[in-house]
Amino acid sequence: MAVEIKLNEWRTEREPLPVEKPKVAVVIPCFNEALTIGDVVRQFHAQMPDASIYVFDNNSSDGTSEEARKAGALVFHETRQGKGFVVQSMFRKVDADIYVIVDGDGTYPAEVVEEMVEPVRRGDADMVIGSRLHRTARSHFRLLNRFGNRLFKFFLNRIFGVSLTDLLSGYRVFSKRLVRGLPLFGGGFETEVEMTIKALERGFAIREVPVNLGRRVDGSHSKIRIVQDGFLIMRTMLTLFRDYRPLTFFGGWGLVFVALGMIPGGFVIQNYLQTGLVFRLPLAVLAVALVLIGVLLAVVGVILHTISRRFFELDYQVRTYMDELYDGKKKPGESYSSEVDRSRRKEA
């Protein structure tokens, strides 16, 4: 059961993938997952025998690479420590029509991979998220992890006006056009937040499929540092909020400063109305300063909003042009007018 997320109104057109079978790549980021990686590779190979399976080893010291090779996976190494760097390396080195990303800890079910791939294969979605927190999912979470996931999901939905149920899932499917058009820079576990928000803001279609998160096997440990990675995730979310919604971000702070300025300003105005004099000059100066800062922040928000909209329009045009190149409708360097002329010559 796929759940569609309603996104921006300027989403570009998507077409189903060609009739011939699309090339599917299962890419698995790993750091010290020797206990589980072999089973993960075999399970996904059983579900998708025609797919290529890649394991990206992020400086493991427990024989993860050897276990992955024994199970039949192609192994790459990423020396920069962090899941975000591994994802960037995956997108750069692997060429496919559909990308399946899943953690190597054995907690995500391979049985639902076809259900997750199908919306991308049909052209109905560019990203499919395996939602561990969907109302129909039965997932095993530590209490603190569940709380953190729900907290970040709440902030994302309120800030960006969407209805995602799982922001930090490590089980996702991507279309090639999304992989080629999504710049990622985060190096750690904040990469899921970054790719989700940037996909939302670029108008890519996102769907969710419920998945049941299993328990880790004995001896396997989570690599997430709750406090440090939680701070990085929240900082990334606020940074992207500032970058993609500058009017709301700076305008909101502007209103806060104006409201703060009204507090000392109220006392000054009250004294002036009663006596005709300003006895508390420092309060008056503070009130004026706070209000001016608020107005300045609002103006900054308006300017950045205007610039941001122009960049969105440019990004839309570039992605549309690249889609046409990818579909073979236009030759590199050919303008729209020359394409029309070429079509007319053919008709003549």
Q: Per-residue pLDDT tens for 49-74?
A: 999 999 999 999 988 999 999 999 99
Q: What CATH number should be reported for the domain holding residue 23? A: 3.90.550.10
Q: Are residues 55 and 82 in the same domain?
A: yes
- In 3D, which of 12, 5, 4, 10 has the Cα closest to residue 326? 12
The answer to whether the beta carbons of residues 201 and 181 sit under 8 Å apart is: no
Does position 329 have pLDDT exceeding 70, yes or no?
A: no
The SS3 call for residue 5 is strand
The predicted structure's pLDDT at residue 16: 61
On whether residue 88 sits in a domain, the answer given is yes
* Distance from C-alpha of 238 to C-alpha of 251, rounded to nearest angstrom: 14
Determine how many CB atoms are found less than 10 A away from the CB of residue 270: 10
The predicted structure's pLDDT at residue 348: 45
On whether residue 221 sits in a domain, the answer given is yes
Domain interval for residue 321: 246-336
The domain total for the chain is 2
| pLDDT single digits (tens) 240-276 | 999 989 999 999 999 999 999 999 888 888 887 888 7
Q: Which two tokens stand for residue 121?
A: 């294969």
Q: Are residues 28 and 60 in the same domain?
A: yes
pTM value? 0.77
* Distance from C-alpha of 140 to C-alpha of 219, rounded to nearest angstrom: 17
The answer to whether the beta carbons of residues 165 and 156 sit under 8 Å apart is: no
Q: Are residues 196 and 292 in the same domain?
A: no
The answer to whether the beta carbons of residues 232 and 168 sit under 8 Å apart is: no
Burial of 49 (C-beta count, 10 Å sphere; 0-12/13-18/19+): exposed
Give the residue from 240, 267, 294 where a domain finishes: 240
Q: Are residues 121 and 269 in the same domain?
A: no
Q: Are residues 261 and 220 in the same domain?
A: no
Give the residue from 212, 240, 268 where a domain finishes: 240
On whether residue 146 sits in a domain, the answer given is yes
Does position 331 have pLDDT exceeding 90, yes or no?
A: no
* Distance from C-alpha of 168 to C-alpha of 186, rounded to nearest angstrom: 14
The predicted structure's pLDDT at residue 111: 94
Q: Are residues 65 and 144 in the same domain?
A: yes
On whether residue 344 sits in a domain, the answer given is no
Q: Are residues 119 and 155 in the same domain?
A: yes
For residues 216-239, average pLDDT: 84
The SS3 call for residue 269 is helix
On whether residue 348 sits in a domain, the answer given is no
The answer to whether the beta carbons of residues 42 and 31 sit under 8 Å apart is: no
Estimate the crossing angle of helix 143-160 against helix 191-201, to 10 degrees. Answer: 20
Q: Are residues 232 and 301 in the same domain?
A: no
Q: Are residues 50 and 193 in the same domain?
A: yes
Q: Are residues 64 and 181 in the same domain?
A: yes
Q: Are residues 137 and 184 in the same domain?
A: yes
The predicted structure's pLDDT at residue 308: 83
**Strand 52-57 relative to strand 24-30: parallel, antiparallel, unpaired?**
parallel
* Distance from C-alpha of 155 to C-alpha of 168, rounded to nearest angstrom: 13
The predicted structure's pLDDT at residue 268: 84
DSSP state of 295: H
On whether residue 289 sits in a domain, the answer given is yes
On whether residue 342 sits in a domain, the answer given is no
Terminal Cα distance for the chain, rounded:
50
On whether residue 117 sits in a domain, the answer given is yes
For residues 209-234, average pLDDT: 85
Q: Encode burial over 56-90: b for 16+ CB neighbours within 10 A, e otherwise.
A: bbbebeeebbebbeebebebbebeeebbbbbbbbb
Give the residue from 240, 265, 295 where a domain finishes: 240
Does position 325 have pLDDT exceeding 80, yes or no?
A: no
* Distance from C-alpha of 113 to C-alpha of 128, rounded to nearest angstrom: 10
Q: Are residues 54 and 79 in the same domain?
A: yes
Burial of 173 (C-beta count, 10 Å sphere; 0-12/13-18/19+): buried
**Strand 3-5 relative to strand 127-131: parallel, antiparallel, unpaired?**
unpaired
| pLDDT single digits (tens) 7-56 | 443 344 555 655 468 899 999 999 999 999 999 999 999 999 999 999 99
The answer to whether the beta carbons of residues 13 and 205 sit under 8 Å apart is: no
